[in-house]
A and B are shown apart, each in its own frame.
Chain A
Amino acid sequence: EAQVTQNPRYLITVTGKKLTVTCSQNMNHEYMSWYRQDPGLGLRQIYYSMNVEVTDKGDVPEGYKVSRKEKRNFPLILESPSPNQTSLYFCASSLFLGDRNSPLHFGNGTRLTVT
């Protein structure tokens, strides 16, 4: 089954404790992206990757890191989480960006709470 898999689904952590949210897709997609969703602000892009070893900042990259060593995986790293990073996070992928025949496929989300 074609899918984007994120783990974990729920995570509660403390300020400053490094964490990684994993994202994997099995559709051989080139484009992958991370979003955070907060009430009233909608989905905001954190980082994206156009292909292996090609990553770039989105609109809200501060406090996050990513890597794209393999096509299928795009982990999101919070080196020193802070309470303002409490949010719902989505990973997404598509064959090509913005092509009408290549929609974004989303993972089922990671709800992160930083205390």
Chain B
Amino acid sequence: RKEVEQDPGPFNVPEGATVAFNCTYSNSASQSFFWYRQDCRKEPKLLMSVYSSGNEDGRFTAQLNRASQYISLLIRDSKLSDSATYLCVVRDTGRRALTFGSGTRLQVQP
């Protein structure tokens, strides 16, 4: 089983739609969680950190469910510019590395 699993998609949604991605992680001791965004053939960039109480940044909302070991990303009012691959990233306690999921591809259509 992969340490961090994501549905690869693609998720094809119309502009203005709300879309949600989930990501599951296998290590219950994981301590830090992030969502990164990667445009085609470009480097990943931090979208947002994920806090235990959930957090929002504009149209983006991240949630953490420790009991079920998953994190989610909700995008409201999708824009064409949101088309990208979204990477779920986890850091485990004591491990000197971040583990990346394979990514979920989002395609927002006009």
Contacts and interface: CB of A to CB of B under 8 A. Distances in A.
Contacts of B46: 103-104
A42 B100 contact: yes
A44 B101 CA distance: 9
A50 B96 contact: yes
A106 B45 contact: yes
B97 A48 contact: yes
B44 interface: yes
Interface residues of B, number: 22
Contacts of B45: 106
Contacts of B102: 40-42
B87 A42 contact: yes
Interface of B: 8, 31-32, 34, 36, 41-46, 49, 51, 87, 91, 96-98, 100-103
Given A100-B34, A109-B41, 8 more contacts: A40-B102, A41-B102, A42-B101, A43-B44, A44-B100, A50-B96, A103-B49, A104-B46
28 contacts: A33-B97, A40-B102, A41-B102, A42-B101, A43-B44, A43-B87, A44-B100, A45-B97, A48-B96, A48-B97, A50-B96, A58-B97, A88-B41, A90-B43, A90-B44, A97-B97, A97-B98, A98-B31, A98-B91, A98-B98, A100-B34, A103-B49, A104-B44, A104-B46, A104-B98, A108-B42, A109-B42, A109-B43
